[in-house]
Structure 1
């Protein structure tokens, strides 16, 4: 019993829960992903990830434990033990959202690279099988699209075969899929090159004290973008994510102030 209590305390610490919460708590949505989903700290404001914004679209009786780690691929997240932390904490009836691809593409980095039709699927199966072994519900989420526009203003896809690989794995394993690649690409296409800057981390010099020189980031989001990508995830999930709040989904003006930024990045502290 002492060993079990100690283990629960370690998992609780990693995910911002008290040991009591780790033993008996409400249904929880866990997020395994990369920097596009991660929770950021006060020093990063207004940078935010969609997993950080997801609670805005869920009823209070459903918790979110965002394990998304900046820089992670499906391989490195598992190899670093981050998947084990989730599987130690996840309970029957919980949900695991699995979203990778951005860093799996980095062929120059053997610690993170996976090949889309072999090792990428092999690693993703670890998440699916681990969740199901704990009687939890895995959901695959294809990687959110980057802000990519040609000179004539037309958008283009940037993730190669990874979304197709995830779609095929979802079909082969009977796993629910949220096609965030397609959904986000449609949104960026509608908004166009200029309006998307208000969603991604584009800031003028002096606009935000955390970015005094300004920033032009076409991969990561500021708060408004994180909220709208989280809306895409929650809206597409249906009953695959518990406790989705229809009122929030249909509220077009969710303010940035619904987000909270902890003192440190929880997945890195």
Structure 2
């Protein structure tokens, strides 16, 4: 797929993001934990607005059934993008979250594709990164099972571009190994305080450093595939970023976004 023009003149291009806790914009109380979406603007020009609607503990099912997908669809305009990826929570046995990879998961994911296209938007499927589970020999466990495979199947059937962060993460974690991979996940370093909402030794959520590299890969993948135009990208080879650039939220803004980006209208 290549970039399709048609955005209204005079307004910023928008990329809506739907996903779970790995993509959430974090408040300061979660330092040094960060979602990859809050780092994505580092690699996009000011002509692009990233509208992060990801929510902690969201599956493809719960995000849709709780009105979060509908809010995005109600807000989208022709030419906007919907970048979405699930699977890291869909395996949970909770009936409000659980989906089966090649049945209910595909059904819910298809609703994101069709909903975006009905609004003349551009759906993009993200295969989420694998969690950090590495044995003594450096082998990374495929915890996400068939969810990435199912998402790729849907992408092929619906002709939707794919950002394969999953495959890239397997390569990264294996290259880094059991110890060095801790540097990109939420393992506290000497002198860092333990925040109320952060668990030290978290093998699921990223530090800012890891979030930045995931965001870099996502931006580069969309640019190289022609999903978004080349002039939207910036600083893809920049190696140093400060924590001040990461877009941490204050608690009030975080709470407001969590509560407000929900639609009570009939679901899509």
Range of TM-score over shorter length: 0.7 to 0.9
Equivalent in 92, 99, 103 of residue 118 of structure 1: 103
Secondary structure in 2 matching 1:188? helix
- Alpha-carbon RMSD: 1.9
Secondary structure in 2 matching 1:72? coil
* Alignment partner, residue 76 of structure 1: 62
TM-aligned CA distance change 1:57 to 1:247, over 3 Å: closer
Partners of 2:16 and 2:214 in 1: CA distance? 17
Partners of 2:182 and 2:196 in 1: CA distance? 15
Q: How does 1:144-223 map to 2 (within 5 A)?
A: 144-204=129-189, 207-210=192-195, 215-223=200-208
TM-aligned CA distance change 1:58 to 1:76, over 3 Å: same
RCO higher in structure (CA 8 A, sep ≥6): 2
Moved more, 256-265 or 42-51: 256-265
Q: May I ask how many residue pairs the two structures share in their alignment? A: 245
Partners of 2:77 and 2:200 in 1: CA distance? 40
| Runs of 4 or more consecutive aligned structure 1 residues displaced over 3 Å after TM superposition | 211-214, 241-247
Equivalent in 14, 21, 31 of residue 28 of structure 1: 14
* Alignment partner, residue 42 of structure 1: 28
Partners of 1:182 and 1:240 in 2: CA distance? 19
Q: TM-score, normalised by structure 1?
A: 0.86
Q: Does the aligned pair in 2 maintain the 1:104–1:112 contact within 8 Å?
A: yes
- Segments of 5+ residues of structure 2 without an aligned counterpart are 1-9, 260-268
Q: Does the aligned pair in 2 maintain the 1:29–1:94 contact within 8 Å?
A: yes
Offset, 1:218: 0.3
* Alignment partner, residue 253 of structure 1: 240
Secondary structure in 1 matching 2:83? strand
Offset, 1:228: 0.6
Offset, 1:206: 5.1
Partners of 1:211 and 1:74 in 2: CA distance? 28
